[in-house]
Amino acid sequence: MTQAVGPVEAAPRTRRSRAAVALPLVLFAALALLPLVTAALSAGYMLDLFVRVMIFAIAALSVDLLIGYAALVTFGQAAFVGLGAYAVGMLGAHEITDLTIALPVALLASGLFALVTGLVCLRTKGVYFIMITLAFGQMAFFTASSLAPYGGDDGLTVHERSTLFGVAVLDRPVVFYYVVLAALLAVYLTCRTLIASRFGRVLRGAKDNALRMTTLGFQVYRFQLVAYVIAGMIAGLAGVLLANATEFVSPAYMSWQRSGELIIMVLLGGLGTLHGAVLGAIAFLLLEEWLATLTEHWKMIFGPLLVLVVVFVRGGLIGIGTALAGAVSRRLRRG
Amino acid sequence: MAEPVLALEGLRKQFGGLVVTDQVTLSVAPGELHAVIGPNGAGKTTLINQISGVLPSDSGRILFAGHDITRLPPHERARRGLARTFQITSVLPAFSALENVAVAVQAHAGSSYRFVGDAAAEPALNGPALAALEEVGLAERADVPAGHLSHGEKRALELAMALVTEPKLLLLDEPMAGTGREETARLIAVLRRLKGRFAMMLVEHDMTAVFALADHISVLIYGRILLSGKPDEVREDPQVVAAYLGDEIEFER
Amino acid sequence: MTRTIPLLAAVAAVALVAPAQAQDKAQEKLKIGVIATLSGPPAVLGQQIRNGFQLAVRDLGGKLGGREVEVLVQDDELKPDIAVGKVKAFVERDKVDFVVGPVFSNILQAIVKPATDGGAILISPNAGTSNYAGRDCNPNLFVTSYQNDQMHEISGKHAQDSGKKTAFIMAPNYQAGKDSLAGFKRWFKGEILDEVYVPLNQLDYSAELSKIAAAKPEVVFVFLPGGMGVNFVKQYRQAGLADTIPVFSTFTVDESTLPAQQDAALGFFAGSNWAPNLDNPQNKAFVAAYEAAFGAVPATYAFQAYDTALLIDSALKATKGDTKDRDALRAALKKADFVSLRGDFRYNTNNYPVQDFYLTKVAKRPDGKYQTEIVEKVFDDYADPYVKSCKMK
Amino acid sequence: MSTTLLVVQVLNGLQLGVLLFLIAAGLTLVFGVMDFINLAHGVQYMLGAYLAVAFYGLTDSFVLALVLALAAALAFGLLLEAAVFRHLYGRDHLDHVIATFGIILFLNAAVKYVWGAAPLSLPVPEALTGSVALAPGILYPVWRLVIIGSGLAVAALLWVLVSRTRMGMLVRAGATNPEMVSALGVDIRRLFTLVFGFGAMLAGFAGIMIAPILSVEPGMGDTILILAFVVIVIGGIGSIRGAFVAALLIGLVDTLGRSFAVDVLRLFMSSSTARTVGPALASMLIYLLMAVVLYVRPTGLFPAKGR
């Protein structure tokens, strides 16, 4: 009896895991090959677009880590992106441009901010958590807006991109593209490893049933705090790259709308899959870019599209893919 | 007599004006299976929650292996060897049965701040987990997501999760509730096998199970201990029979 | 599933690259990228810029300096990073020669580098920050509006000249707001009873109005652009202050906000480099054409965008349509050899205009529409002071 | 900082407070009863304002515009419920977020498409223009007093509805224990639709009442939505009483903070530093308040029991 039941129950697991391996491979391969395509089409502009896409994908990964694996719906993640960006901008204003300083400072700043705010935020649950993360995001936003020596609300120009040991490595678009891609890949693999690790298993368990994990002896709060700090640092890294990509830093990077967009990206792609976050960022930003070329009123198309995705499919784009694959394989099996 | 694993001294819990447990004093000896019975609303589950730390106590003391744990948070108590199951089954539904137990192994091993390495592939975690599943008769269902298990299987899974933490005391909150006759019999068999390895406190309505398993029985009514004694004494106590057991109870031997 | 991904990427690639290829055939066309805020509440300003520019191109027969023109319009969404992305696309994908925009100063700060580094000439039809007038002046950046401070100085100068003793001044809490109050104070030497900074996009001014009523200044000066101005003016009128304390302002009452403010704004003063009723033939024709085309009275944004097209036209005429020789093109732009709608116009060494400034006042026209009208000239051939720190010649 | 000024500022704070309450009441009910996060609640406020302007243009009467706009806001709310939200009850909160975010994008773009990007306005009804003298020299606009009055009246009406009627009893029960309500044999779907329509109408009402004071423009609902969320979270989700108290609290703190932050800071620091720090601090005061409240009471001031 159990013999017969086993394989049937196991089937979705293997299919999922096959997609979980293949999809990111294809995604990253496509991203790695993109500069060849753009060079062939002499569409260097697309590199810039995809740099932006990948940077948001990094930030979206940090959001997926929290929402998708730790059930912490954060509505203030843009603040960490902003912190990373401001680290580059403010150091740049004092003519410190080297990544060996800027990156650690950015990661430390965003990590520290996450630690302090996380201590407070994680006391609350559910919607209250959403709102308290929003509150801290807004405080960061208003603080940045009042930083008169660093441009205040106007933001400040990053006069030169970050250097590495004094070498201006990021100045060439293709090099910068691959640096961002490498960062995305590194963050993706880090998240993947983290989630599979003992630590990640505790997070996932707490998402599933926090009370059970507590009575097993886990102090869930601490694990969540560590995750919150890690996610904050990842977002900070995205900020460092964003400041370099736009060569500009602005409080707008910290606005709550930005935090909202990051959540939407993750949900659009498919929550709790990691590559869904990457896919979501790509889809969101490309769709935005493409629709905007069609009509000035593109949001009248984009909005209903989001509604349709939610009402008719679950699990975002990844969900559509899985549903399609399921339908096809059922059809094949029957036919 | 050996030092008791658990000793409750005058434990009390009040919700607003309602006193749910009051002056509860009892002790559980090592290896003993101590059953707490009582009608609905007698405060049994509250008592379990107080002992495991899910609810703070208003007054009284909880001594666990000689240490006062009254003010400790639940995860601290769990770490000291106090395991529990829940009245409403509480597993991790998205995890496979094996992974549920492996998490428990991990909790017991105490090194969960490991950020690398695939936890799902660690023999150190999976080995003991599989052995525990074996013991409760769930080895064949190891890969099934816990959410898909039958009610009785979830009960068994909870037991397995408690087992691997090598507890000094296991609190069982109505493990037979909602299980079928056949599954009840299986669970009784499993518990009987486990008896003696550690102390257990069993809160249960199913008198068949209670009298089949218990070394010692305490009767809780309106939050107070009415009587505490060996199964035979309890069964024959006129006060208990009158107040609680009535005539409906069939005894099996 | 797995197969759809490269497909998607390919589709995306084609969709994004296709416009560039399609345009290759029309190599002769002069490409101009207009970047303005076209979404959210400030969209009305961006639309004025877009409309003004397109109207000029239409009036010039679809040609600037004899070359066919293709105008590409993009929305910066008032987000600096989006603006940077759009401008890079203009420069790298569309290979535009000119970028025209933006509305807001913070966007200007963000796009100067990508636009000019990419080899385009950036012409700002509205924002004119002090750093680009001075220290950071840039040979590839031209401003057809004004240096921001000047608009605020008009009110300060006039308040001073007309003998006002006390003032209450207010602006949003951001850089342009601080510059604004600084500009007013540069000329006004009376007593500042209070200097208030409100959060950007504040909607309710009840708190500040109470303060004004309590302080009883001789004059109120505000810089509250867009919806802020609409709210302030209505609430100022409702509070009964409009009949007792005169308001001097910048960007608070103009043709973009008057349709919403209507009678509430009557009698409010503003400082400007232009007004719809400025008396010269080219301006009369422009206002009439704009109203006919868009059904609304143009504001400074529209006229400056129109002037921007005239400027490009004049430069290209001088270079015979050539944009390759950038030195020649820049020199031609700097000559500013066109008849501006505002009358006198010439470029200073920092590529900011030297021009006249007026005090204006809100009035209702016989046809029921509202507009600002010239009261008197406050500055004649006025140059900004930052030019001293600009190294360009 | 005179007493009169303080009185006026308190009134101003009260006015902002009742406005926030009108919006937050619907939001907290929909959230509390249906467990539905409706981000689109802010655009319903915006729509109320636009509809009022449109109907005023047609009828030239504020009262008629008010009635018609209220009816239209209600109809639109019901339509939205039937077309979209009904399919999402019981789904994950995040599904609500993404769908209602889509509706925000659509409606913000749609009003711009229909009415243009330029701000619109609605005149104050003729009879209610002008100001009353609270004290010699200190005038207060009549319309603002009308807003305060009507807001308090709605609050009172809500209190009667919720605490004195069968429907209100069900709503309260629904906020604490939805299973129980359906177990009572109540058509929970109809209750949901009703509550939703009512909430949409309240938001619309807020939009209509504020239109004579604020400019009517696309996106005007976004900021107010965030404030309304702050209100319901501080008040405790599902609690009308909490929403009322928190709305007034937020209204007062925000208004008083904005008017007196600089003056207060001047006591501790130089005038110019105070001018820089003050406004920034005033902007974040309500968020600071929310963080503190949630730190001390993680489920708000008046948590609805059972959740």
Which CATH number covers residue C111?
3.40.50.2300
Decide if pLDDT at C2 tops 70.
no
pLDDT surpasses 80 at A20: no
Mean pLDDT of C334-345: 93
pLDDT at position B243: 63
Whether A259 has a pLDDT exceeding 90, the answer reads: yes
Q: Which residues contact A321 (CB under 8 A, 6 or more apart)?
A: A19, A23, C1, C4
**What average pLDDT does range D143-155 have in this prediction?**
93
Chain B residue with the nearest C-alpha to that of A2: B140
DSSP string for residues in B73-90: -HHHHHHTTEEE--SS--
Mean of pLDDT over chain A: 87
pLDDT at residue D178 in the model: 63
Whether the Cβ atoms of residue D34 and residue D192 lie closer than 8 Å to each other:
yes
Confidence class of residue C285 from pLDDT cuts 50, 70 and 90? very high
Contacts of A202 in chain B (CB under 8 A): 103, 106, 112
**Best to test chain B binding among A3, A69, A198 (most B CBs inside 10 Å):** A198
Chain D residues whose beta carbon lies within 8 Å of the beta carbon of residue C210: 5, 8-9, 12, 138, 259
Given a cut of 80, is residue C144 above it in pLDDT? yes
What is the sign, positive or negative, of the torsion defined by CA atoms of C85, C90, C92, C98? negative
Give me the half-sphere count of Cα atoms (radius 13 Å) on the Cβ side of residue D103.
26
> What pLDDT score was predicted for residue D53?
95
Query: Please, do chains A and D touch (3+ CB pairs < 8 Å)?
Result: yes
- Work out the pLDDT band at D91, boundaries 50, 70, 90: confident
Q: What are phi and psi of D301, to 5 degrees?
A: -75, -40
CA distances from C115 to A175, C86, C111, D287 (A): 21, 10, 6, 38
Give the residue from C133, C138, C89, C92 showing the smallest Cα distance to C113.
Answer: C138
- What average pLDDT is seen over chain C? 88
Helix (H) or strand (E) holding B187: helix B181-194
CATH class of B6-245: alpha beta
List chain D domain ranges: 3-220
CATH architecture of A33-294: Orthogonal Bundle (1.10)
**pLDDT one-digit tens code per residue, C72-84:** 999 888 888 889 9
Interval B13-25 mean pLDDT: 86
Mean pLDDT of A82-89: 96
**Three-state secondary structure call for residue B244:** helix
Nearest to A216 among B54, B104, B148 (CB): B104
Same domain for C127 and C234?
no
The mean pLDDT of A171-179, rounded to a whole number, is 91
pLDDT band for D179, please (50, 70, 90 cuts): low
Would you say A68 and A319 are in contact if contact means Cβ atoms under 8 Å apart? no
Neighbour-count burial for B152-191, b at 16+ CB within 10 Å, e otherwise: bbbbbbbbbbbbbbebbbbbbbbbbbebeeebbbbbbebb
Residue ranges per structural domain of chain B: 6-245
Q: What is the structure's pLDDT at A187? A: 97
- Assigned domain for C260 exists: yes
Closest by alpha carbon to C82, among C118, C38, C120, C50?
A: C38
Residue B78 CB: number of other CB atoms within 10 A? Answer: 26
Q: Is A107 on the interface with D (CB under 8 A)?
A: no
Mean pLDDT of A200-213: 91
Higher pLDDT, C152 or B90: C152
Is residue C119 within 8 A of residue C87, CB to CB? The reply is: no
Higher-pLDDT residue of C288 and D90 is C288
- Among C253, C272, C291, give the residue marking a domain's end: C272
pLDDT band with cut points at 50, 70 and 90 for residue A18: low
CA distance C72 to C57: 12
Please tell me which residue, A110 or C24, carries the higher pLDDT value.
A110
Can you tell me the mean pLDDT for A222-239?
97
Residues C57 and C138 in one domain: yes
Residue D305 has pLDDT above 70, yes or no: no
pLDDT value at residue D176: 67
Tokens linked to D226:
């965030």
**What is the nearest CA distance from A194 to chain B, expressed in angstroms?**
5
Written as one letter, the residue type at D212 is P
**Rounded-to-integer distance, Cα A61 and Cα A197, Å:** 17
Q: What is the pLDDT of residues B222-238, one digit of tens each?
A: 888 888 889 888 888 88
**Higher-confidence position of D149 and B117:** D149
Q: Collapsing DSSP states into helix, strand and coil, what is residue C69?
A: strand
Strand segments, DSSP code E, in chain C are: 30-36, 63-64, 67-75, 98-100, 121-124, 141-143, 166-172, 191-198, 219-223, 247-250, 269-272, 346-347, 353-364, 370-382
Any idea what the Cα angle at residue D52 is, between residues D47 and D55, rounded to 5°? Answer: 120
Neighbours of chain C (3+ CB pairs under 8 A): A, D
SS3 content of chain B, % helix, strand, coil (to 5): 40, 25, 35
Which of these, D54, D86, D87, lies nearest to D73 by C-alpha position?
A: D54
The answer to whether A14 contacts chain B (CB < 8 Å) is no
- The pair of three-digit structure tokens given for residue A328, joined into one six-digit string: 């096809």
Choosing among B52, B72, B92, which should be mutated to test the A contact, i.e. which has the most A CBs within 10 A? B92
Question: Where does a domain end: C213, C247, C272?
Answer: C272
Residue labelled with tokens 């190891």 = B142
Same domain, C156 and C257: yes
pLDDT value at position C207? Answer: 77
For chain A, residues classed under CATH 1.10.3470 are 33-294
Interval C314-322 mean pLDDT: 92
pLDDT for residue C24 is more than 50: no
Name the band, by pLDDT with cuts 50, 70 and 90, for residue D181: low
Q: Which strands form C98-100's sheet, in the order they lie side by side?
A: C63-64, C67-75, C30-36, C98-100, C121-124, C141-143
Mean pLDDT of B72-84: 87
* Chain C residue at shortest CA distance from A288: C82
Q: Give me the sign of the Cα torsion angle A79, A81, A82, A83.
A: positive
Amino acid D222 reads D
Identify from C77, C106, C223 which residue to disrupt to test chain A contact, counting A C-beta atoms within 10 A and taking the largest count: C106
Amino acid found at C328: A
Nearest CA distance, D117 vs chain C (angstrom): 5
Q: Tell me how many degrees the CA angle A263-A204-A116 measures, rounded to the nearest 5.
A: 65
Structural domain range at position C41: 27-146+280-354
Which pLDDT score is estimated for A335? 55
In the predicted structure, residue C21 carries a pLDDT above the cut 70: no
pLDDT of residue D59: 93
Check whether B250 has a pLDDT greater than 60.
Answer: no
Q: Is the ipTM of this complex over 0.90?
A: no
pLDDT digits (tens, 9 = 90+) for C267-282: 999 999 999 999 999 9
Confidence of residue A7 (pLDDT cuts 50, 70, 90): very low
A313 or B201: which carries more pLDDT confidence? B201
Q: Look over chain B and give the mean of its residue pLDDT values, rounded to a whole number.
A: 86
The predicted model gives C102-127 an average pLDDT of 91
Residue D15's pLDDT is what?
92
Give me the number of domains chain C comprises: 2
Helix (H, G, I), strand (E, B) or coil at C61: coil
Query: Hey, what's the torsion of the CAs at D49, D51, D53, D58, to 10 degrees?
Result: -170
Average pLDDT over residues D168-178: 72
Say which residues have a Cβ less than 8 Å from residue D231's Cβ, sequence separation at least 6. Answer: D20, D21, D24, D28, D243, D246, D247, D250
